[in-house]
Amino acid sequence: MVAVEVWRSPLLPDVELTISSFEIKRVSEANRLESLYEAAAHGRWAHYPSLVVETVSAEDELPLRDDILLELDRLKLGLYTMYNLGDGTFRVEQHVFPPRQTPDLGDLRNLLDHFFSEDETLLKKYRQAIGR
């Protein structure tokens, strides 16, 4: 999942664009290094890549092994848990906020091209938000 956030102020000359990515995994997959590496790959084009672990309930302890937590820190990933409330919505809790990464502008442009390629209305809103 990807979130594109645009912040603009009439008093500042620049537009701030922030892209966050969320690699969502079931609890059974969360302790696999591959899950972390998939989330880390998003750092190529995301400012804030994160792993999201779906748990069964809010009372569940964070089910990650120590070696996975160390690797999460080394890869500079955020960490969230989420669980289904049963009514079609989820509760999400943040455990670690990732440090900001600086993706290559070409990779960022490619992501945005792909992100908006099938939704002209969303592209129009985005262009409006950045003043173009």
pLDDT tens-place values along the chain, 132 residues long = 999 898 887 777 788 889 999 999 988 888 889 999 999 999 899 999 999 999 887 777 777 888 888 999 999 999 999 988 889 899 999 999 988 988 888 998 898 898 889 899 999 988 888 887
Judged by phi (left if over 0) then psi (alpha if -120 to 50, else beta), residue 15 lies in beta
Range of the domain at 114: 2-129
Cα 111 from Cα 44, distance rounded (Å): 10
Number of domains in the chain: 1
Phi, psi of 121 (to 5 degrees): -65, -45
Its pTM stands at: 0.82
Sheet holding 48-54, edge to edge: 2-8, 15-26, 48-54, 78-84, 90-96
| Max CA separation in the chain (angstroms) | 48
